[in-house]
Amino acid sequence: MLAGAVSMALAVGLAGCASTRPAQPAAGPGTVVVFAAASLKSAFTQIGSQFKAQNAGSNVEFEFAGSSELATQLTQGATADVFASADTAQMDAVARAGLLAGDPADFASNTLVIVTAPGNPKKVGSFSDLARPGLGVVVCQQPVPCGSATQRVEDSTGVRLHPVSEEPSVTDVLNKVTTGQADAGLVYVTDARGAGNKVATVSFPEAAGAVNRYPIAVLKHAPQPTLARRFVALVTAEAGQNILAQSGFAKP
């Protein structure tokens, strides 16, 4: 009886000691936070899935928005590991603020196209058609990269648009067209492809003079610098490049 009581007391004491030990941190390398241009959502979501498969226990959190909005957030103190911009201007703004861990790498390029309702009911056939009176056109606002590209086309052609709306991201422009709130919009090739039969696509030769190159970089104060470098490496490697190409992106 005495021996049994002693054994039970020891067991209880050990259990009590175990319960007071501090909890151990969860296993796994952590979460990489990626700020990325809205036009990258489809491709980067796929790349993120591949990244998690290659880095067991890791996770990727994306913040997709207009590049200028993301750059502003970063320069105002937002925390992230990676920044992927839809043009060099917004990456340069983040670099001037001293927020990059190293030189950015160009990983893709994108070109503007016109999107309309399916069947192109307004018979838009050229960039100059977008200036027709009565045509409801929506574009990206500046300095969002798609807005800057639109401005470059206007400057090179002398055609001045009078949009009914200027949106903060290219996905917002696309949404205005697919929901019938606009007759036509200027988006990237990749966005038009992703919309499928929800839109008709009209290419125009002047867009070749306003191609946007996409840079990516690890941020200086990245909470997960190792994961950040691995993510950038995947984007720039063959696997990431294949996913980007399937989404309609061209080489940088």
Burial status of residue 151 (CB atoms within 10 A of its CB: 0-12, 13-18, 19 or more): middle
For the whole model, what pTM was predicted? 0.86
Distance CA 111, CA 248 (A): 10
Domains of the chain: 31-108+214-247 (3.40.190.10), 112-209 (3.40.190.10)
Given a contact cutoff of 8 angstroms between Cβ atoms, the answer to whether 149 and 208 are in contact is: no
Annotated binding site for molybdate: 39, 67, 170, 188
Given a contact cutoff of 8 angstroms between Cβ atoms, the answer to whether 69 and 143 are in contact is: no
**Candidate from 3-7, 51-55, 124-128, 151-155 with smallest mean pLDDT:** 3-7
Query: With pLDDT > 90 as the criterion, what percentage of the chain qualifies?
Result: 88
Annotated binding site: 39, 67, 170, 188
The conformation of residue 68, written as its DSSP 8-state character, comes to H
| Confidence grade of residue 209 (pLDDT, cut at 50, 70, 90) | very high
What six digits make up the tokens of 31? 């979460």
Return the pLDDT at 54: 95
What six digits make up the tokens of 203? 């290419």
Mean pLDDT of 241-246: 98
| Confidence grade of residue 29 (pLDDT, cut at 50, 70, 90) | low
Return the pLDDT at 205: 98
